Every structure is written in C-alpha cells, then in structure tokens.
Structure 1
Amino acid sequence: MVSSTAVEKKSELNPRTTAYEFAGPVGAALIIVTIPLTTYLLYFGCSQRNGCPPSLASIKNPEILDTLQRLEFWKGLWDTEAALMYLAWYAFCVVAWLVLPGDWIEGTLMRNGKKMKYKINAFSTFLLTMGVTAGVILRFGPESFTFIYDKWIGFVTASFVMSVVQSIYCYTSSFFGDKLLALGGNSGNFIYDFYIGRELNPTIGSFDLKSFNELRPGLILWALVDISMACEQYVRRGGTLTDSMILVLGFHLWYVADAVYNEPAIFTIMDITTDGFGYMLAVGDLLWVPFTYSLQARYLAYEHVELGGVGTAVVVLVTFTGYWIFRSANGEKNDFRNGRNPKNLTYMNTKRGTKLLTSGWWGRSRHPNYFGDWLMALSWSLATGFNTPITYFYPVYFFVLLVHRQLRDDEMCEVKYGDDWKMYKKLVPYRIIPYVY
C-alpha cells in the first residue's frame, strides 16, 4: 500500500499541467492527423507522375475521388518488404548503439535531483552506415540503392507505424512505476498528453528512447534517403549528377554529420530537457525528418536542374553563411555554459544566480542559431531553382517552427527569470533575425 506521504511527494514532483500549448487537445488532435497527412501529400503532390504541383485539371479529375474510395489504394500504402527493411534499419541502429564504443556523459540536473546518463556514439553509427552504404554501391552499382525511391510510400508508412507504436508504448508505460513526468504533459487529457509526451525520459534499462530517436534512426535515414535519390538520378542520366543534386546531397550529408558529431550539444535543448517523449517527438524524429527534409533531393531525382557557376556560388554562399552563424553561435553558448569565455563576452547576472549573454551573437538576437539554421534550410531549396514552390515547403515550415520554439522559450524564461528577463529583452530586443525580428 502506498503511503499518503509518498503520494504527496509524487504529486509535488509531477504537478498537474494547467496550461496548454498548441491550442490544447483540439490543436493536438489536428496535428496528430495533419503530420502524416502532409507527409503523404508532399509525395502525391510533388512527383514525376502527378507533377509538382499537380495541374488544376488533374486535381479536379473525378478519378481522384474514385481512387480514394478504392480499398486497393489504401492497401497500396503498405509495403511488407519496405516495412521489414525499415525494421531491420531500426534494429541496426539499436545494435550499433549497444556495441559501438562511446563515452557516457551526464545530462542537465533534473528537478528530482538526478542526472540522466547518455551514451555518445551517434557519429560512429553514422560512419558505419556510410561505410556499409558505400560498399554496397561500389559492389553492386548505384542501381542497387534506388530501392528507397522505388518504395517511398512503403517506407513512409513503416516509419509512421513505428512512431505510433512507440508513442502508445511510452504513454502507457508512463503510468507504471516511479516515473518523472514532463511538466507540460501531465494534463490528464489523453489526446493532449499522448501528443506532447507524458514521461520526460522513457528508458529501457540504460537505453534512453528520446535521445536515441533524436539523432539516429530518422536523422541518419535522411542521409540514406538522399543517397538513394542521387543514385536514382545517376542511373537515369547514365552516370552523371547535376550540380544541384551534388549541392543538396553534400549539404544534407554535412548537416547530418555535423549534428551527430556534436551529439553532446543536444542534451541542453528543449526537446531533451523539457518536452516529454510522445507522438510529437516520435513522429517528428522518425517520419517527418527523413521524408520531408529530403523533399529537395527527391524532386531532383527526376527533375534534373542545372544551376551553373553563378547559381552554384550563390547557394554555397548562403549555406556557408548560415552554417557559420549557427555553429559559432552554438559554440559561444556551449563555451559559456561550461565556464569558458574565450571571447570575453559580456553578460547579465540574474537573481537566480545564472548568467545571460549580452554580446557576441547572443547580443545580436536571443536565438541567432535559429537564424543560421534557417539560412541553411533556405539554401537547400534554392538549389532546386524556381520552377515550383513545393520544394520551398521546408524553409517555410521551418521558419514557423522556429518562431513557435522562440515563443515557447520566451514564455518559459519569463517564468524562470521574472523581471530579469524583461531587463534582458531590453538589452537584446531582437528575437531571431537581427534588426528584422
């Protein structure tokens, strides 16, 4: 029998969520539906067969409604072979996490007075994956790696099913044992808590599901998807790649490699420290990242855009500028959090005893890293040219996401720092883009 004292302590540690985000349960329900729907629509609305976007005449074609009413269409979203391949890929990532060497580091201090320990070997997993992939392509030819392009919908469905299964497991298991819940995911409303994530750090032994999914199965799969798209273009063109495909492939591989190489940096971001692991992060990590972030590469697999020298130079300049801002801003923040200040940046002391940077990149805006990240996203779309607006979906979506994250962060900081945050906003008035927003 559980004592009343133990129940009181648990309720103090895991208080009820009293404020909703994402427009509450109704907004959460809409997002639960629209994320997979958008992923499918980006395929059917931007493909060689249907056009990118489809013509107005084809959209009004009565055959579309007739197709949607056929059971065969819905059955066609499932591909057993693709599902088994995806399951094997996920298992490979788990085994790589288990057997590849890596340091164990501590995360931030949680409100229960403990620190999670995380195994750092995402970069080793990425290198192993790239090595195996290169070996397959060299041994069997580029045509052997076009199967992701060929089985696109099957892989989308498989990753979606994996996301839902994990979301259900994490939500159900959060009610058993002495679990630390996310402050924002304990509202008591099933739809909202299922979406936002009820348990802060779902684990199986020492295996942390949230940090594992953040960088491995979805992010590295994004790189594999891009390679498959490049192989498809290479085969179609008889042994050559366009300059646009080389740029997109190079930028994406670089972005993924940089993220997994800097794995320790993720343990201070909101996803890890604040959000629970539920549908929002599961479907975002496993479905959204690999199959929407690769939209430009999939478009270029069949639409062979040539940029030329000037176009290539512009795209490279934009992405390198974005990377410079993103990486140098994060470097300043990480140095400062670890007690180093090599640039002698100025800062503001708060009543909590913590410090807020007021110079360098963090003196120009409160989220300069977001601006750099967005510039890189824009450059990926610029590489596809201007024949269709669909390939610019990602930078538009990403800007909305970053603004939303900034608003969430500002709200939490206002609660955390009180009047000090108001003073800080006067010192650093711009939110993301200096002198603009």
Structure 2
Amino acid sequence: MSKHGEEKYKRKFQSGKIGDLNANSNDSTHQLSIHIRHGHNKFWSESILPLTLCIACPFLVRSIVFICDHSHGSIMEFFSHILFDQTMTLKQVLVNFFYFQWHWPSALIIISFLLYAVIMTMLIPGDEYSGPITDTGHVPVYHNNGFTYYVISLILFALLTVLLKFNNISPTYIYDHWEEFLSTVNTFAFLLCFLVILKGKYMPSTNDHRSSSNWLTDFYRGVELYPRIFNIDIKLITNCRYGMLAWALLSIIFCMKTFELHGYTDSALVSCLLTLVYLTKFFWWESGYMKTMDIIVDRAGFYLCWGCLVWVSGIYTLPSYFLVTHPNKLGLSLTITVLALGFLSIYINYDCDRQKIDVRTANGQCEVWGKQATVIRAKYLLLNGKESESILLASGYWALSRHFHYVPELALAFLWSYPCGFHYILPYFYFIFLCVLLIHRAHRDDQKCRLKYGAVWDKYCQLVRWKIFPGLY
C-alpha cells in the first residue's frame, strides 16, 4: 500500500467509516488489515517472495540437518567436501536436499500425535477465557488447560518410554529416522495449509478473514485469523499443542540419544533442561500467548502453520540435535552458571509478561516496582464502528523498552545453544533466526500500533523510546 493509501485508510479507520469485512471481501478490502504490508499487489512481494519462501524453507530445514549430520555443522567444511576433497558430489547433495521420502512409521507417529493433541484439548477441563476483541468485534474463547495438557503429556511420555524400553524399543527411534520424519511432517504441513486456505476462502469461521485474488499470498500469509474445525482452534493446535509440545519431547528424545551413545553428558542435559523449563513457563502462561501477535495478527497460513509443524521441529531443536553427535564437557561450575543465567532469563521473560497482565487486570490501578504504574489509555475504533480501549504500560520493564521481554528470550536462546561450543555456526542458527524474527516483529508491532492508535502511540513512544534493546534499538 502506498503512503498516501495508508494515510487515507488511517483517517477512515480512526473516523470509524470502515464497516464489517465479510466473505465477499475483495483485494481492496484485503489491504485494510491492521498490520499494513507495504507493496501490496506488487508482483515481487505478493507472488515471487511467497512462492520462493514456500519452496525454499523446506529445503533449508533439510539442508541444515544434512550439514549437521555430514559436515559437523560447518558450512565451510560442507563446501570443502564438494569443491576440494570431493567426498560429496553436487548431485548427491542436491538429491539429499530435494528428495522427500514418505515414511509410514513417522506418518503413524504424526497422525497419532495430532489426534492426541485434539482429543486431549477437548477433554481436559479448564476455565474459559477470552482473547482480545478483533477489529470486526469477534471475541475468541478458549479453555485454560494448556499447562495441564503439558504436564499430563510429559507423564504419559515417561510411561510410554518405560513401556517401550521393556520391549527393547526406544523413543530415540525418531532421532534414528529424523530426515524421514522431517520429510513426512513437511508433507502433512503442506496438506494442512491447503486445507486451511480452502476453508478460509469458502467456509470461514468468523468475519476476520482476508481473501484476495492472489492464491500465493493467501497460502503464505493465511486467510483466516481464527479458523476452527468442529470448534477446534487450528492455531491453538498447531502452535501450542503440537508445535511447542513437540519441541519439548524432541529435546528430551535427543538428550536421551546423547546419553545412549556417550553416557551422561552435561552439555546435552543443560540444553534440554533450559528448553523444558522455558516451555513449562510457556504452557503456564499459554493464555497470555493467545493474546500475542502470533495469534491476534498473524493468520493461519504457511508462515504460521507450516512453521509450527516443521520449522519448530527442525530448527528450534537444532542445539539438542547437534549435541547428539558433538557432545561437550562443560564441567560443574560452567553447568551451574549457564543454568542459573538461563533460569534467570526465563524468570525475567515471565515477569515482563506478568507485569503487563497485572496492570491490565487492575485497569492500571496498581503499583509496578513500588511505584504507581504509568499507563496511557489508547482509544481506537473497531471496523464495526464501536470504540475500544487498550492500556499501554510505561513502567517497570516496559519503561526500559517497548519489547524488553525479547531481551531475556534472546539471552536464553544463546544460553541453550552455548553448550554446542563455538567451533560451528549452525547450532546457533535458531539464535540468529530469532534475532532477525524479533527485530522484524518489533517493527511490525510498531507499524500496527501507530496505525491503530495514531497520535497516542507517538506519545507512548516519547515515553518509551527504545523498541527492544535500551540504548541501542
């Protein structure tokens, strides 16, 4: 969208002249999303870029795993094998990068896991809570049973592990067939993305959908904001109940494999423990996550659904996966130091979110760090013309920067990668990716809020100058 077009929409939005978006939304309506994406309808940004990402990302995940397996995670060593000592041919590499194998045992595991996630989400009791009201006036409703789901799942996994061991089988079977598993889950993820886009275009669950004439754009970004099938929230299942739980279980499986091969290894244990504690915090705070940008802004498409099913499994678990074949000895003092710093990062990350939730729950009438909370009340109009209000916090951690909670999250990502050592770059791929992702996300959030709140957001930015890193950015 051009700057003139954005300003025009901004004036209409703030004056309440934009009505409900319905199932017959066209391209013009499609660009009236709260998070404006510049360059809409341009051939590059709306066709070539989504197509490139949808094709390249699966091969990128596979290539990173391949380099970890065959070149110790060293990109330089990988190219050396091809160009100099010729222990690999380019043809062999391309066959491994681009060949996707259907693996029935992996398919059975994935289907069983997805069914388990859906059934347990439906059966486990939990208090109802609401997500933020959308720009069309829809209020999503969930059951607060994520932490119970997580704890039960870990217990069942432990019991299953014991049962398998009695029959001379191990969950580390997944590690032994990891490339086949990634290939199979990638196929499932693409099928799900096609299902979600068709549902969004022809059977949307709410009015919060943006269907354009460009199928590439819709496939990549998604159509529906809150798609549900048989009242099962697709984003809740893919993001939390599959993606995040798979991350936890895979970290345990890779740690178990390290112990099977090398005996007790403190580096693998440290990386696994930090991951598990972080994910325990995540599920404890799941109701808060359902109010973040991943849920309230990003739609259910390739970017989100494929990312949670494949990218999380293949990339977020990379440090634990790498340590299976490259264990390090940290020693007691370094183990304690890394764990202590990691636990502190997790606590600060949680405390940041807790501050914001407490202030909003108290409607701004509370203290933060011993002082009355400084808040800005930002009124805005929904697309149906009704007025709503947000509380912008400028106290505590939120006085340091507008996204200070990203700082401990980045620190933690570095800390659970640190046991891999510094000889190879790929174990830190998740940390590097997260830096780019969070910086871009902070920019997107700033863009969204400036459009949504107008001059009030500018006032807030004067109080809280920095986006993420105080004094730097």
* TM-score, normalised relative to structure 1: 0.90
Q: Cα offset for 1:241? A: 2.0
Aligned-residue offset at 1:144: 1.2
**Corresponding residue number in structure 2 for 1:380:** 416
> Which SS does the other structure have where 2:142 is aligned?
strand
Partners of 2:330 and 2:111 in 1: CA distance: 38
| One-letter amino acid of the structure 2 residue matched with residue 20 of structure 1 | R
Aligned mate of 2:235, from 210, 224, 235: 210
Between 1:96-105 and 1:81-90, the stretch displaced more is 96-105
Unaligned runs of 5+ in 2: 1-18, 40-44, 381-388
Structure 2 residue matching 1:210: 3-state secondary structure: helix
Distance, in Å, in 2 between the alignment partners of 1:7 and 1:248 is 48
Instruction: Provide the C-alpha distance between the structure 2 equivalents of 1:179 and 1:210, rounded to a whole number of angstroms.
Output: 13
**2:385 equivalent in structure 1:** none
Alpha-carbon distance between aligned partners in 2 of 1:190 and 1:169, rounded to the nearest angstrom: 13
Aligned length: 427
Q: Are residues 77 and 53 of structure 1, via their aligned partners in 2, closer, same or farther at CA, if it must alter by over 3 Å?
A: farther
Q: Distance in 2 between matches of 1:12 and 1:186?
A: 6
Superposition pairs for residues 10-159 of structure 1, below 5 Å? 15-17=29-31, 19-20=36-37, 23-47=45-69, 49-53=70-74, 55=77, 56-60=79-83, 61=86, 63-67=88-92, 77-141=101-165, 144-159=170-185
Aligned-pair CA distance for 1:67: 2.4
Q: Which residue identity is paired with 2:436?
A: V
Q: Deviations over 1:269-311 (max 9, x none)?
A: 1121122111111111111112211111111112120111342
Work out whether residues 322 and 372 of structure 1, in 8 Å CA contact, stay in contact via their aligned partners in 2. yes
- For the residue of structure 2 that corresponds to 1:110, the secondary structure is coil
Residues 182 and 191 (structure 1 numbering): CA distance in 2 closer, same or farther, change over 3 Å? farther
In structure 2, give the amino acid aligned to 1:16. H
| Worse overlay, 50-59 or 328-337 | 50-59
Write the distance in 1 (CA, Å) between the matches of 2:148 and 2:340.
Answer: 29
Question: Structure 1 unaligned runs (5+)?
Answer: 1-5
Q: Contact 1:296 / 1:380 at 8 angstroms: preserved in 2?
A: yes
Aligned partner letter, 1:276: R
Q: Tell me whether 1:303 sits opposite 2:326 in the alignment.
A: yes
Any idea what the Cα deviations from partners look like across 1:114-166, whole Å, max 9, x if unmatched? 31221232222222221122123334449612111111012212221221111
* One-letter code aligned to 1:209: I
Amino acid at match of 2:115: A
Query: What do the CA deviations read for 1:253-280 (whole angstroms, capped 9, x no partner)?
Result: 1122211121111221112112211111
Distance 1:346 1:94, change over 3 A: same
Equivalent position of 1:3 in the other structure: none
Asked if 1 retains the 8 angstrom alpha-carbon contact of 2:101 and 2:184, the reply is no
CA distance in 1, matches of 2:157, 2:357: 33
Question: Which stretch of structure 1 is more off in the superposition, 275-284 or 310-319?
Answer: 310-319
Partner of 2:252: 227
Hey, which bits of structure 1, 4+ residues long, moved more than 4 A? Answer: 6-14, 72-76
* CA deviation after TM superposition for structure 1 residue 113, in Å: 2.5
User: How far is 1:12 from its partner?
Assistant: 7.6
More divergent stretch after superposition (364-373 vs 171-180): 171-180
Q: Which amino acid aligns with 2:126?
A: G
Q: Given the superposition, is the C-alpha separation of residues 139 and 171 from structure 1 closer, same or farther in structure 2, using an over 3 Å criterion?
A: closer
Check whether the contact 1:307–1:385 (CA below 8 A) recurs between aligned residues.
no
Q: In 1, distance between residues paired with 2:448 and 2:360?
A: 18
Identity of aligned residues (%): 26
Aligned AA for 1:43? V
Superposed CA deviations along residues 14-40 of structure 1, whole A, max 9, x for unmatched, are: 922265369433222222122212210
Shift, 1:434, TM fit: 1.3
Aligned to 2:128, the other structure's residue is in SS state: strand
How far the C-alpha of 1:329 sits from its partner, in A, is: 0.8
Of 204, 213, 224, 1:188 maps to 213
After TM superposition, the structure 1 = structure 2 runs for residues 266-345 of structure 1, keeping only pairs within 5 Å, are: 266-339=289-362, 341-343=366-368, 344-345=372-373
Alpha-carbon contact 1:234-1:241 (below 8 Å) kept? yes
Which residue identity lines up with residue 187 of structure 2 in the other structure?
V
Partners of 1:351 and 1:272 lie apart in 2 by 21
Query: Once the two structures are superposed, what CA deviation does each residue of 1:44-72 show, in whole Å capped at 9, x if it has no partner?
Result: 0112x4322262331333843332576x9
Query: What secondary structure, in the 3-state scheme, does the structure 1 residue paired with 2:202 have?
Result: coil
Distance of aligned partners of 1:134 and 1:429 in 2 relative to their CA distance in 1, 3 Å threshold: same
Distance 1:190 1:40, change over 3 A: same
Determine if contact 1:222/1:291 at 8 Å carries over to the other structure: no
C-alpha separation between the residues in 1 aligned to 2:429 and 2:351? 27
Deviation track 1:321-347 (CA, whole Å, cap 9, x = no partner) reads 322321111011111222253422212
Q: 1:105 & 1:153 partners in 2: Cα distance?
A: 39
Q: Distance in 2 between matches of 1:133 and 1:236?
A: 21
Q: AA paired with 1:137?
A: T
Q: Distance in 1 between matches of 2:225 and 2:214?
A: 17
